[in-house]
Structure 1
């Protein structure tokens, strides 16, 4: 349904603007505020935002209440019993709400101190991880040396003792890392609670940390892209109503490098930047290609998992817990898929998922949330297989459908910057010819263009359309001619914004 929102104009009359309730997909309150302000330039943005927010919330509540009344009456006619809610029950604000309040309302000095606490916690965890890695490497080197020197006459029991010693080191450090992570998480959340409730940090917490970053921050490391291509374009998306977006072609060794924090990057200013964006609608995301096991990062100790453990996840669940939830959801999803296959009457032969199977299907996407990565808050994990490394694919391939779902989620959850693997591979090999790369890049280019048109079309009735920064990522190791050809192909597929020349 649509409701009319009154706009106070300069004259005696009052203009009105129609707003659909509930709001359409891929739109939010900010989009409609910009439309209202565009229709009446004399209005104050903050005032319109506050009034329109309350208006939309009120009308949405009325709409939902009317729907709920119908459901309640229907349930009551079937002798449905409502649960008893205590009279003194009161909803407590979540940690996310408390943190947003702290970022927007508390003093700058307290906020800086809170960010310095994050930097200090990062230093503590990094030192422990480095100590563990050094001890494991030293012990592994000694074991290999002993095996090389006494390979023929070494008793199996001695080999077992060496393996047990190595395992014990892993177990000991795992407990220490888990304990430190839990302690840091509790201290940080108590600090946020204290700022939210009292406007100050606990004195004993401040005394425990070193607020001088120069004592433990190393020099900044050069984090430039790998050799290849690094070009930016401004493009139009849409047929009649065009929206402007940024597109980049970049080269990295691995997709994980995009969210890697280098020495000197973890500073108070960088943490402040993350704090202001973490719960907003200008999030940044990266897409990783993963196998079908949802616990792959943990069981294989991937580079991404090692990157996540360098600092404690203070806002969201640790990576392992998030992946456990994915595993549970995968099992439930496969049960639903099996039931759908049983009910399918189209006569086509389909692979029936095993009940209670926690293995994902090609093209599935799951996401994890992070506050301890470099300028990345969301990580999409796209399930792929080795077949993508060599075969040609069509626009109906499951992985391209996964890319479509990723772009839909970026529009729905306020993600404005997204990194996508252009060739849908991690590393090139001997089968990665220039013809294959050009065909694959062209296919992904065209599909992403169509997906962007789809999500931008949902906001066609707005004056201000969404703006995206799309990064097409190429792996390093390709020949220079491949990079050049793929870059030159871009203007033939996307509509570039004409450049403006200024003559002085």
Structure 2
């Protein structure tokens, strides 16, 4: 590993005369050598900071560049002479030098690195990937489904007791407030409220401990069962494994999921249109574009059957098959600047995730807690690198957002990610921060949320997310200000920006975004939906078949 760069301070002295008098001025500036910046930029900063005359700019730039070059050469010469002198004096141990070089090669060069075994998480991922592409898939899904039913039953009991306690406390508090100054004092009411709060915390804590213990037990039993299942199958038969599996390679067999494939009416979107488009100037790529109306959480909610059935939701089949693959699914959820499960869609998503055990990733609460710690470092870094010159290039609304009190939290357009394996049709959730500025009708392509969509598409392209669902109106619910003109203008902006991002995405490398789903809020009128669906093929290039007419009479080409 390279040692930290050491610097020395050298005084730069520059003398220049004035135009009106014969006086000579001295400019003395300390400079760290080696100097890693630009001498031209430093020259302009000196001229601006000390209000120096403009006619010395050329001479100052040349003198500064010459000074930096000479002092840098002198610095490296002195450093080399010290090293040579130390080598001649033999004040160091040769064995220490050899060990330092050996350690550096092992840490920096893969060829010389120590061979380390796979971690427990990597081994479990390999076991799951092998079994899920085998005839054991149906058994795996049924076990996961039975575990989810057990968690659902326990959380249902918790909700019932919490609701009953809340109702009881509400009645007690109502009677106490009605009797204030009669048979109750204000102090007794405050003590009663404190007691109610303590009882709620105790009940919530007890049930949270039971749910957490059940999930940990299920997670441990599930992993042990999968490892034992793989050992049993390897001892009896050889399971088919995909060619991209890290284990034995043999082509996968066709697998047909069983169970009830009929979805509940709530999960079926009312309105839907699909298109196939080609994007690109020379090497055109084909994409499937879909616009549909519905609730964003319908893609996350796993709708369990009654306790007497072990048939999982059909969407879980594809989600399980693609979990450890290069064909992941993602969705964009709009949230506020606070990282947590206290309100909004993030709270509803946390409730959905809580209904079943997460076997492959940390629970969503742990992911968000880790994200809160990382956000503090990211915000501190951004505040220290945010310059007033950058604010001058933003619009007035963006400047107000940057100068607002959200400097301690995330800002509009920021995105954080959570990963899941227990949702219906989603592996990756992009939580994008939004604010009330999206309700206006004058946002443009430089709005932070639009730039956030670009970052999301770039992440999807770089991390094998080939199916992405995003809100085309940048809203999850219909409101009064969302008129027909408002919806049309907003959808046109998002369509055109996403199209440009997808064309740009082709130069980023990585995987292709095969399926892109534009989600409009549930409850949108059919007329507005048809307007947006008609606009989509006019903005994107839709693949139309070429119809050729066959004639019985041969046509002879004309000669000139």
Q: TM-score, normalised to structure 1's length? A: 0.71
Give the whole-Å Cα distance in 1 for the aligned partners of 2:456 and 2:439: 21
State the aligned residue count: 409
SS at match of 1:454: helix
1:453 to 489, 503, 509: 503
State the partner residue of 1:260. Answer: 301
State the partner residue of 1:321. Answer: 366
Question: Would you say the 8 A contact 1:327–1:358 is kept in 2?
Answer: no
Question: Would you say the 8 A contact 1:392–1:436 is kept in 2?
Answer: no
State the partner residue of 2:85. Answer: none
Report the Cα offset of residue 97 of structure 1. Answer: 4.3
Alignment of 1:58-97 (within 5 A): 82=103, 90-97=116-123
1:307 to 352, 362, 366: 352
Query: Is residue 277 of structure 2 the alignment partner of residue 235 of structure 1?
Result: yes
Question: Would you say the 8 A contact 2:261–2:313 is kept in 1?
Answer: no
Question: Would you say the 8 A contact 1:274–1:375 is kept in 2?
Answer: yes
Report the Cα offset of residue 275 of structure 1. Answer: 2.8
Q: Per-residue displacement from partner, 1:363-390 (whole Å, max 9, x unpaired)?
A: 0111111000002111111111122123
Over the aligned positions, Cα root-mean-square deviation in angstroms equals 3.9
State the partner residue of 2:150. Answer: 124
SS at match of 1:496: coil
Query: Is residue 536 of structure 2 the alignment partner of residue 486 of structure 1?
Result: no
SS at match of 1:312: coil
SS at match of 2:103: coil
SS at match of 2:224: helix
1:286 to 321, 325, 331: 331
Q: Per-residue displacement from partner, 1:71-90 (whole Å, max 9, x unpaired)?
A: xxxxx89x7783899x9973
State the partner residue of 2:479. Answer: 429
SS at match of 1:192: helix
Question: Would you say the 8 A contact 2:341–2:350 is kept in 1?
Answer: no
Give the whole-Å Cα distance in 1 for the aligned partners of 2:485 and 2:132: 57
Give the whole-Å Cα distance in 2 for the aligned partners of 1:361 and 1:345: 15
SS at match of 2:386: helix
State the partner residue of 1:192. Answer: 226
State the partner residue of 1:336. Answer: 381
Report the Cα offset of residue 182 of structure 1. Answer: 1.4
SS at match of 1:232: strand
State the partner residue of 1:49. Answer: none
Q: Which has the higher contact order (CA 8 A, sep 6+)?
A: 1
Alignment of 1:161-240 (within 5 A): 161-195=195-229, 221-227=264-270, 229-240=271-282
SS at match of 2:422: coil
Report the Cα offset of residue 302 of structure 1. Answer: 1.4
Give the whole-Å Cα distance in 2 for the aligned partners of 1:218 and 1:147: 49
Question: Would you say the 8 A contact 1:363–1:383 is kept in 2?
Answer: yes
Give the whole-Å Cα distance in 2 for the aligned partners of 1:300 and 1:278: 23
Task: Name structure 1 gaps, 5 residues minimum.
Answer: 1-75, 202-213
Give the whole-Å Cα distance in 2 for the aligned partners of 1:370 and 1:297: 19
Question: Would you say the 8 A contact 2:469–2:519 is kept in 1?
Answer: yes
Task: Name structure 2 gaps, 5 residues minimum.
Answer: 1-96, 108-112, 236-257, 550-560
Give the whole-Å Cα distance in 1 for the aligned partners of 2:408 and 2:120: 31
